[in-house]
Structure 1
Amino acid sequence: MYLIAEEHNISYTIRLKANAKLYDLAKPFLKKLNQNSEISKKQVIYGEFNYQAGSWDKNRKVIVKIEKPAEGCPNK
């Protein structure tokens, strides 16, 4: 799907299946969230990095979103 979108110069968003490499690349954003976190408030942080899956012919931009619920509250 992304190849067709790129061929036709169409912007797209695709959810990637989580894997160990993506978790490693997201660690700096998690660290930033934990440093800035207020326990009583829900926290959300976004970041981006380049990633190339084994089956891809090039790097692509990945947007990461990390959520941390307020302590004692369900994650909504």
Structure 2
Amino acid sequence: MKASLIGIALLATTLAVATAGTANAAGCLKGAVVGGVAGHYAGHHAVVGAVGGCVVGRHLAKKHAAEQASQQQAAQAR
């Protein structure tokens, strides 16, 4: 049972990495991995954790990109 879950998780990660280049998923992959692991240890809710991690990771990546853009604009204005 545990080996099959690890295999499924490995397959899902491989597919996510393969398709990440075509999708705008900055932060989602890292967040999904971290959330999936946390969800697994918090009551075997890896899928729910991965989805939540993806959402949070994407939000933080967009926030980071906006901060970098504003810093670049400030540097160019000088």
TM-score normalised by length of structure 2: 0.26
Specify the structure having the higher radius of gyration (Cα). Answer: 2
| Higher helix content, 1 or 2 | 2
